[in-house]
Amino acid sequence: MRKLIFIILLVSFSAIYYSTTSSDEKSVVHQAILDIKKMVNNSSIFNKKTSDEINNSLKTDLDKSLTDPTQSLQDLSPEEFKSWMTKESNLMNSAYNNTEEKQIQLKAQAQSLKAPQIATLKEIAGNSDLPINDRILSVYMISLNSTEPSLQALYDGALLAIPELPPYGPHSESEIKGTQELVLRYMQIDELFQRAKTDSNAFDKLKLLVNTSSSEQVRSYAQKKIKELN
């Protein structure tokens, strides 16, 4: 799954790269792409010792708590669900999650989620104080769920105002955080775009984003995806 998440990130960063007009902005996103590629190349997927260490500390607890992947998440309290999400995002750094079996399990878990769990995922995804892995996984889980609450959560997440950050120079922490915020919104727009191919409600959400988002880049990207549908 970690490999898949990074593919999503690379696609999203690339979308930002090609949609910006400023050479400075392009330089920022280009560097972000290089940074993510470096993270993939240096990741524990290619380092068995690190993978084993993570697996030993997390896999047993996760397996015990989720013996029935289609039901267990619905039985968790909001705080327990958040704790599970933290464990799962940590496992994104492990080869344990980079298997077909695990991805099938995750999809089944995501598809079984109801409105309360979707609300928690939306809360995590929109919290800029949380680790980016937690937020990316939350958006990913929402995208795997086909219920009406997930559609609304995608729209709400894409509409969320990008937080104000301190002034920054090239490749600074603030600059990277700003890019990450935009990537999360692009991920949600991309899922709305996919659903809009067969769902008029998703198409309406895209049109609303064009008219209501406070971010010019979000509005432009949503408009771009609408044009691709026409």
> Per residue, what are the HEC states of 143-197?
HHCCCHHHHHHHHHHHHCCCCCCCCCCCCCHHHHHHHHHHHHHHHHHHHHHHHHC
| Contacts of residue 201, Cβ cutoff 8 Å, sequence gap at least 6 | 148, 151
Instruction: Using pLDDT thresholds of 50, 70 and 90, give the confidence band for residue 21.
Output: very low
Instruction: Tell me: pLDDT of 105 over 90.
Output: no
Tell me the average pLDDT across 121-143.
Answer: 92
Q: Which amino acid appears at position 215 of this protein?
A: S
Instruction: Using pLDDT thresholds of 50, 70 and 90, give the confidence band for residue 132.
Output: confident
pLDDT of residue 74: 84
| Contacts of residue 8, Cβ cutoff 8 Å, sequence gap at least 6 | 136, 140, 187
Instruction: Tell me: pLDDT of 115 over 60.
Output: yes
Higher pLDDT, 130 or 103: 130
Instruction: Using pLDDT thresholds of 50, 70 and 90, give the confidence band for residue 89.
Output: confident
Tell me the average pLDDT across 140-167.
Answer: 91
Hey, is 228 helix, strand or coil? helix
pLDDT of residue 167: 65
Kindly tell me the sign of the dihedral angle through the C-alpha atoms of 89, 5, 101, 81: positive
Beta carbons of 1 and 106 less than 8 angstroms apart:
yes
pTM: 0.71
Beta carbons of 146 and 139 less than 8 angstroms apart:
no
- Residues of the chain with pLDDT > 90: what percent? 42
Average pLDDT over all residues of the chain: 74
pLDDT of residue 30: 47
Residue with tokens 């408009």: 223
Q: Is 166 buried (19+), middle (13-18) or exposed (0-12) by CB count in 10 A? A: exposed
Q: Which amino acid appears at position 213 of this protein?
A: S
pLDDT of residue 73: 85
pLDDT digits (tens, 9 = 90+) for 26-77: 444 444 444 444 444 443 333 333 334 434 443 444 444 444 444 478 888 8
* CA 100 – CA 89 distance, rounded (Å): 17
- Number of other CB atoms surrounding residue 192 within 10 Å: 27
